[in-house]
A = this chain, B = another copy of it.
Amino acid sequence: GQVIVSDAATLEEQIASATAGDTILMKNGIWKDLEVKFTGEGTVEKPIILKAQTNGKVIIEGQSYIGISGKYLVVEGLTFKNGYTPTNAVISYRTSSKDFAYHCRVTQCLIENFSNPERYEADKWVEMYGKDNRFDHNALIDKRNKGVTFTVRLNNEESRENNHIIEYNYFGKRQNLGSNGGETLRIGTSHYSRTNSNSIVRKNYFESCDGELEIISNKSCGNTYQDNVFDACKGTLTMRHGERTLVENNYFLGKRKHNTGGIRVINERQTVKNNYISGLTGYRFRGALVVMNGVPNSPLNRYNQVDGAVISNNLILNSDHVQLCAGSDTERSATPINSTMSDNIFMTNTNPSLFTVYDDISGIQFEGNFVNKEENVPVENGFKSIDYQLTKNSNGLLSASKKLLKKIGFKGDVELPVSREEVGPAFYDKDTKVIGLNEGKEIHVQPGINTIIEALEMANPGDILLLEGNEEYVLTKTAYIHFPVTLKGEGKATILSEKSVAFQLENEADLELNHLVIDAKNAPDQSGNCIVSTSRYSMNDNYIFKTLDCEIRNLNINHTFNFLKIYPSTMADTVLIENSQFDQVTGSILALDKEVDDLGMYNAEYVIIQQSSFKNIDNTIADVYRGGTDESTFGPNVEVLDCTFENVGHSKRNKEQSSLTFHGVQKLEIDECHWVKSAPLKLFLTNGEPISEIKNCTFQETDKVVANSDKYSFENIKMINK
């Protein structure tokens, strides 16, 4: 029969009494702090169904989760948002460590930002256990905290050789986590990676899944990834562990976004065929196609040698990097063997050095591949150089000619195997827009005491607060920022803060300070003040902080007065300082060094400092820290351009005794900078083959660069009086 329930207790009763063929409808509305164990025994013809009264109208909030165990159970139409799971998963295909789901299905469900507010508190949104289960037409959007979004677990006998099917789902935006644990989909773990999972992942649409290096982390045997689309995703489909994976007819659309990647091959007997790879910019492990070196007799959690890989009939178009024997080092010394790379088209006008070969590639047989003339090739034989000839086809996709496609045996047309419209729950609109900086309205703010705070209370995301020129704005309280907002002087307005923190970024904030004077002379007489602070608590949303055309001064009432003060478990997407002058600061300007556990986490993806001057700064201008040897992340990326540093870094409290310190930065560019009577620049290069370029700089009465390695470039540098 069919019943409709409107509270948790009745739901529990109805589940307990349901038999094959029953449908339990959850009443439309908000369900708060809901803990459901959906158990039962349906049949193939008569499943037991737990369903929203109207799909998309049952909203589960707060501390909620659902577990499923038994047979032939269906969950349909539920939405999880405004909360997070108090357990380890939101939807779990088990109800205890002994009770699993079989032949069960979750469909037409949405999980949207159901993220633990603690950025590095790990959980999963979906954990599949048991066998023969299906997950289809669901949407998983905006997971912000650590932990794989969707995972298939194999840690018990009942969950192996499972034949799960994961299809027609929309895996939406996942922001850069800045740590390992930002995968969108994982099947297995290293412990059980030599076990057959036999899961099928097909016809899913992945969009902006930027969590970390691995969009998908395959960690078991016998899995299939077919007909999926990866739309502007940073990272790769990685065959991290496990063998006999089939990766076929997937479409990778990089759209030239930074760090977009394709397919990474590790382990034995992997098949990569008929994939379409276009517009990917990623290098090294984020390449369009990456074949790695392994570790001889690798332990379970390291890298198995590539053996018997078949990489055929793929299109790699307008992408920047194909990496062979990637990761070669003293540990990863086992080069690929018994492998073939045949009948692929490599055609790009974006990088003339498409191929990088890190080690001996004699174990890969190359045959029947095409490459455009302008490109390098990894070996002489097996590549035919032809004219570049890509054009957009009738499906709007870049393609080689049909003739050439036919020559390499590419099956079907160049067209997406699944459309964005076909995936996810029917009720979910994928095009909801998030408002960013300067996308709102302008608000005039009167000078005076705390008028900025009053204006903030009236403002909406994206708004621009306009401050009058040559007037004073006093803050006797901290101004808390809860969404993207700009403070802009019309003519230079002066902000005078009397509080230990002038502006505090709360979760979901972005802040732009534009054309302002910030004078800290009235700050309280205590150490540790700052102008801008992150939340002291976790911020699970990455923030943007821009300082444009500002004068910042008199941060010196007491020691350790910082410009920006950040806390652990916060991550900036971008910190930008441009065309600004800083004078008299007893602390630091950008100390982005608060993830000290050396697990590969860090505090800012892009740090850009340009056309600015820094004078009489006691501590550091920038300290960007990423410690440890983890290889899951992209950044930090740092640019320091056209700046001067005078009398910087000489405080005894400056632990690094440097003017700028970059530890573990992956890409560093310093150009046209001038040091005067300052502490030196300090570099600590770690793993990940960081790129560090310093050029066109002068160091006057300043010590030379201090570095742990000489693997940085140093061009056109002048040392004066030292």
| Residues of chain A having any CB pair with chain B under 8 Å | 86-88, 96-97, 118, 120-122, 155, 181, 189, 191, 449, 476-478, 498-500, 522, 524-528, 536-538, 569, 596, 599
| Chain B residues with CB under 8 A of A87 | 476-477, 498-499
Instruction: Find A525's partner among B121, B189, B525 (CB 8 Å cutoff).
Output: B189
Question: What are 16 A-B interface contacts by the 8 Å CB criterion?
Answer: A86-B478, A87-B476, A87-B477, A87-B498, A88-B499, A97-B498, A121-B500, A122-B500, A122-B524, A122-B526, A155-B525, A189-B525, A191-B525, A527-B599, A536-B537, A537-B537
Q: A85's closest neighbor in chain B, by CB? A: B477
> A610 to chain B: closest CB distance in Å?
30
B191 A88 Cβ-Cβ under 8 A:
no
| Chain B residues with CB under 8 A of A88 | 476, 498-500, 524
> A513 to chain B: closest CB distance in Å?
21
| Chain B residues with CB under 8 A of A537 | 536-537
B96 A477 Cβ-Cβ under 8 A:
no
| Chain B residues with CB under 8 A of A449 | 96
How many angstroms between the C-alpha atoms of A181 and B120 in the bound complex? Answer: 32
How many angstroms between the C-alpha atoms of A155 and B557 in the bound complex? Answer: 13
Q: A475's closest neighbor in chain B, by CB? A: B87
How many angstroms between the C-alpha atoms of A97 and B569 in the bound complex? Answer: 37
Q: A477's closest neighbor in chain B, by CB? A: B86
Q: A63's closest neighbor in chain B, by CB? A: B477
> A308 to chain B: closest CB distance in Å?
29
| Chain B residues with CB under 8 A of A121 | 500
> A617 to chain B: closest CB distance in Å?
19
> A170 to chain B: closest CB distance in Å?
27
Q: A124's closest neighbor in chain B, by CB? A: B524
How many angstroms between the C-alpha atoms of A596 and B88 in the bound complex? Answer: 31
How many angstroms between the C-alpha atoms of A456 and B596 in the bound complex? Answer: 34
How many angstroms between the C-alpha atoms of A525 and B121 in the bound complex? Answer: 13
> A519 to chain B: closest CB distance in Å?
13
| Chain B residues with CB under 8 A of A500 | 88, 121-122
How many angstroms between the C-alpha atoms of A522 and B94 in the bound complex? Answer: 15
How many angstroms between the C-alpha atoms of A604 and B351 in the bound complex? Answer: 57
How many angstroms between the C-alpha atoms of A366 and B478 in the bound complex? Answer: 54
How many angstroms between the C-alpha atoms of A118 and B525 in the bound complex? Answer: 18
Q: A496's closest neighbor in chain B, by CB? A: B97
Which residue of A120, A121, A596 has the most chain B CB atoms within 10 A of its CB atom? A121
> A348 to chain B: closest CB distance in Å?
39
> A118 to chain B: closest CB distance in Å?
6
Q: A120's closest neighbor in chain B, by CB? A: B528
| Chain B residues with CB under 8 A of A122 | 500, 524, 526
How many angstroms between the C-alpha atoms of A424 and B524 in the bound complex? Answer: 29
B118 A536 Cβ-Cβ under 8 A:
yes
> A288 to chain B: closest CB distance in Å?
31
| Chain B residues with CB under 8 A of A527 | 599
Q: A527's closest neighbor in chain B, by CB? A: B599
Given the known inter-chain contacts A121-B500, A536-B537, please indicate yes or no for A97 contacting B522, CB distance below 8 A: yes
| Chain B residues with CB under 8 A of A524 | 88, 122
> A72 to chain B: closest CB distance in Å?
25
How many angstroms between the C-alpha atoms of A57 and B324 in the bound complex? Answer: 77
How many angstroms between the C-alpha atoms of A286 and B569 in the bound complex? Answer: 39
List the 9 shortest-distance A-B pairs measured between CB atoms, nearest first.
Answer: A86-B477, A87-B476, A122-B526, A87-B477, A537-B537, A88-B524, A118-B536, A189-B525, A122-B500
